Structure 1
Amino acid sequence: MTVDTPSEKTSARATDRPGDASPFALGLLLRRAHRRAASVMTEALRPLGIELRHFGVLIVLADRGPTVQRDLVQAAGSDKAGIMRVVDDLESKGLAVRKAVPGDRRVRVVEITQKGLELFDQAHAAAEPLAERLVTHLGAGEAEQLTDLLNRFTHPDDGEE
């Protein structure tokens, strides 16, 4: 009895190791990079009394200004319940406020407060030296190159007209 063996090489299996050629390699690398960066940023935010999820919403509010709460879901990469908890936390800390939208009492706009902006600036100052640790092993210009590549990867439509 003979056993049929495929004549074509089977695709590589995901290993989560450097050089992995599987179709999952990019996703696995991005997940590892996120965990590493999140760990460093969490260390910077801890003394300020906020978490990365809070800071993610503060980024959106500082960048966009007052934002409808439902729009924060997509902008912060969260879900509705998660955004509600984060906004509740930010409000209880005096970092953001909810305001009614004239003409639609069901809709709330979330706005960063002055205290929130001050904490936002403190977080950047605290994170800068820690962020340097993330890229210390990269060569000259590689951190900027990585940032450029990740920006183009995550915002593919920004360069199109």
Structure 2
Amino acid sequence: MTSDVPQGATAARATDRPGDGSPFALGLLLRRAHWRAATVMTEALRPLGVELRHFAVLIELVNHGPTVQRDLVAATGSDKAGIMRIVDDLERRGLAVRKAVPGDRRARAVEITPRGLELFDAAHEAAEPLAERLVADLAPDEPARLMELLTRVAHPVDDTTG
């Protein structure tokens, strides 16, 4: 197999180590940063009895109001069966409810409940000190700059997908 690799090709192999110059470096570093952030946010949500997948749905409901399940699939990157389980969990906990959609007998909109909003707000309070840990090694002005840059990467001006 190594005989198929052109000479000099090893210099640009993708890693997620500092200084990697490969074209995959940014994506790999973003993935590693995501894992760190997800771990911290999971820690914040654990005492509240929800997981990141539940919180992702609550975020969509807060941002967009009642949302049909198929739109939650697209918004959260989940699949149809996964969203069903997540919404079932949220309903069992009294954090969301399914309601009929006028004019569409098959569709159900998911709506956050007052209890869900309370948990949403409590999660933000719990996450604040943990989120500060994520950026503790940055200079005072760098967290805001990082947010600005990541926002531009995640939401390009010409992006019509979101």
Query: Please, what TM-score do these two structures have when normalized by structure 1?
Result: 0.90
Q: How many residues align?
A: 154
Per-residue deviation, 1:157:
3.2
Distance in 1 separating the partners of 2:107 and 2:16: 43
Q: Deviations over 1:98-157 (max 9, x none)?
A: 111112111110000000000000000000011100001001211111111111111113
Letter in 2 for 1:93: R
2:51 corresponds in structure 1 to 51
User: Which residue matches 1:100?
Assistant: 100
Separation of aligned partners in 2, 1:157 and 1:29? 23
Distance 2:31 2:91 in 1: 30
Matches within 5 A, 1:139-158: 139-157=139-157
User: 1:86 Cα deviation (Å)?
Assistant: 0.8
The Cα of 1:159 is off from its aligned counterpart by 8.4
Letter in 2 for 1:31: R
Q: Unpaired segments of 5 or more residues in structure 1?
A: 1-5
Distance 1:80 1:146 in 2: 33
Q: Residues 157 and 79 of structure 1: is their aligned pair in 2 closer, same or farther, counting only changes over 3 Å?
A: farther
Return 5+ residue gaps in structure 2 as ranges.
1-5
Q: Deviations over 1:64-94 (max 9, x none)?
A: 1111111111212222221111111101110
| Alignment partner, residue 110 of structure 2 | 110
Q: Which whole-Å CA distance do the structure 1 matches of 2:100 and 2:57 have between them?
A: 19
Root mean square deviation, CA, Å = 1.7
After superposition, where does 1:118-157 map in structure 2 within 5 Å?
Answer: 118-157=118-157
Question: 2:26 aligns to what?
Answer: 26
What is the SS of the residue equivalent to 2:109?
strand
What code does the residue aligned with 2:136 have? Answer: T
What is the distance in 2 between the residues matched to 1:61 and 1:158? Answer: 25
Percent of pairs with identical residues: 74
- Which amino acid is 2:125 matched to? A
What residue is the counterpart of 1:74 in the other structure? 74
Q: Residues 157 and 68 from structure 1, CA distance in 2 versus in 1: closer, same or farther, beyond 3 angstroms? A: farther
- Give the TM-score of the pair, scaled to structure 2: 0.89
User: Who wins on radius of gyration, i.e. which is larger?
Assistant: 1
Give per-residue Cα distances to partners, 1:15-67, cap 9 Å, x unaligned. 22111111111111011001000000000000000001101110110111111
